[in-house]
Chains A and B, each alone.
Chain A
Amino acid sequence: MKVRVLVRLKPGIMDVQGAAVKRALAGLGFAEIADLRIGKVIELELGETTPDARARVREMCGQLLANPILEDFTIETVTDLAPREVAR
């Protein structure tokens, strides 16, 4: 079973890294960006699929992968860990 965890800063938490990248893009002429926030993608491949797999991943997020003070997370079950769309 393959699982993708997306960890994002909570709304309202200042993302200084995102702000710096947004400024850099504006410097490159991409002035249309209203907001830019940076998160993390964590991809897990579980050895075997058990009924409680999703709950176990939720537990992993609670205990280590995300800090609940700063971050929210979403868990997606995926068939393929490759990027979802190939950009052209």
Chain B
Amino acid sequence: MRFGVVVFPGTWSDCDFHYVVSEVLHQPVRYVWHRERDLSELDCVILPGGFSYGDYLRAGAVAGRSPVVEALRDFVGRGGLVLGSCNGFQILCEAGLLPGVLTRNECLQYRCQSTHLVVENVETFFTRGLRLGQVLTMPISHGEGKYYADAETLARLKRDNLIAFRYATAEGKVTKASNPNGSLDNIAGVVNPEGTVLGMMPHPERASETVMGGTDGLLMFQSLLGSLVEDGSFLKR
């Protein structure tokens, strides 16, 4: 499986994702510069966290209209897989590749902490190796991670099972106290109807080695690889 990690000016999680894919998963990976338009040789494109273009105007707004994200539309249309974490989630929403928007945390604080996520959908390429209701522990690190969508969109998210993760307690209970940023319905991650584009505020790449404090993020990458083994596009390095 060939991964691409997109780098915008101001991206900061690119090296972490590259490291996990290359050194933990042992899969081929390359950086993709934000001006690139040719994604044809890739199976999965990762939009990492950070502050793309300084997050001027709104978080992810400028990146959401960049050449590489325009190319992502075709890539997604061809069945390519896209994982956006943190700023990457903000970019996917701003680009209209996922519904809703991320806005300023209700507490007004930048939150850098560990969170518990309850798995709400196991029919995506990124979560198919997980159990429904399983609780994952992953860190968040953001100032603008409050998920918002209008009532009609929220109803569609629920009806079509597009909510991938919700913030919860360690026991998997979705409570107000376990919501770190005021997200609507504790939503921490959403997916497109095909299950090929996933956006999430938490950082799976920062929870992929025991030495980093946990490996729950790795479970998502392993789900991905499992999908690609069946698909025949799994590559041994």
- What are the residues of chain B within 8 A of A13 when measuring CB–CB? 148
A-B contact count (CB 8 A): 29
A67 to B61, CA, bound (A): 9
Which of A20, A63, A64, A70 is within 8 Å of B103, CB to CB? A70
Given contacts A63-B65, A67-B101, contact A17 B108 (CB under 8 A): yes
Q: Are A70 and B108 in contact (CB under 8 A)?
A: no
- Interface footprint category on A: 10 to 19
Interface of B (DSSP majority class): loop
Q: Are A70 and B101 in contact (CB under 8 A)?
A: yes
A71 to B1, CA, bound (A): 40
Q: Are B106 and A14 in contact (CB under 8 A)?
A: yes
Q: Are A67 and B58 in contact (CB under 8 A)?
A: yes
Q: Are B94 and A67 in contact (CB under 8 A)?
A: yes
Q: Are A64 and B100 in contact (CB under 8 A)?
A: no
- What are the residues of chain B within 8 A of A64 when measuring CB–CB? 57, 61-62, 65
Interface of A (DSSP majority class): helix
- What are the residues of chain B within 8 A of A69 when measuring CB–CB? 100-101, 148-150
Task: Mark interface residues in A7-38 (1 if CB within 8 Å of B CB, else 0).
Answer: 00000011011001000000000000000000
Task: Mark interface residues in B52-66 (1 if CB within 8 Å of A CB, else 0).
Answer: 000001100110010
| Known pairs A67-B94, A69-B101 / 13 extra A-B pairs, C-beta < 8 Å | A16-B104, A16-B105, A16-B106, A16-B107, A16-B108, A17-B104, A17-B108, A63-B65, A64-B57, A69-B148, A69-B149, A70-B101, A70-B148
Which B positions have Cβ atoms within 8 angstroms of A? Answer: 57-58, 61-62, 65, 94, 100-101, 103-108, 148-150, 182
Can you list 5 A-B pairs with a CB-CB distance of less than 8 A? A14-B106, A16-B104, A17-B104, A69-B100, A69-B148
